[in-house]
Amino acid sequence: DTAVSQTPKYLVTQMGNDKSIKCEQNLGHDTMYWYKQDSKKFLKIMFSYNNKELIINETVPNRFSPKSPDKAHLNLHINSLELGDSAVYFCASSQAGWSNYGYTFGSGTRLTVV
Partner 1 sequence: AQKITQTQPGMFVQEKEAVTLDCTYDTSDPSYGLFWYKQPSSGEMIFLIYQGSYDQQNATEGRYSLNFQKARKSANLVISASQLGDSAMYFCAMREGAYNFNKFYFGSGTKLNVKP
Q: How far is the C-alpha of 109 from the C-alpha of 23, rounded, in Å?
A: 10
Which of residues 73 and 110 has its CB atom nearest to partner 1 in the complex?
A: 110
Interaction between residue 102 and partner 1 (CB under 8 A):
yes
Interaction between residue 70 and partner 1 (CB under 8 A):
no
Interaction between residue 90 and partner 1 (CB under 8 A):
yes
Q: Which of residues 42-61 bind partner 1 (CB under 8 A)?
A: 42-45, 48, 50, 55-56
Which of residues 86 and 95 has its CB atom nearest to partner 1 in the complex?
A: 95
Q: How far is the C-alpha of 54 from the C-alpha of 2, rounded, in Å?
A: 24
Out of 14, 28, 39, 40, the only residue in the binding site for partner 1 (CB under 8 A) is 40
Question: At a CB cut-off of 8 Å and minimum separation 6, what does 113 contact?
Answer: 13, 14, 15, 81, 82, 83, 84, 85, 86
Of 18-26, 62-70, 72-80, 90-98, the window that binds partner 1 (rule: CB under 8 A) is 90-98
Chain-centre distance of CA 104, in angstroms?
A: 12
Residues that bind partner 1 (CB under 8 A): 30-31, 40-45, 48, 50, 55-56, 88, 90, 92, 94-108, 110
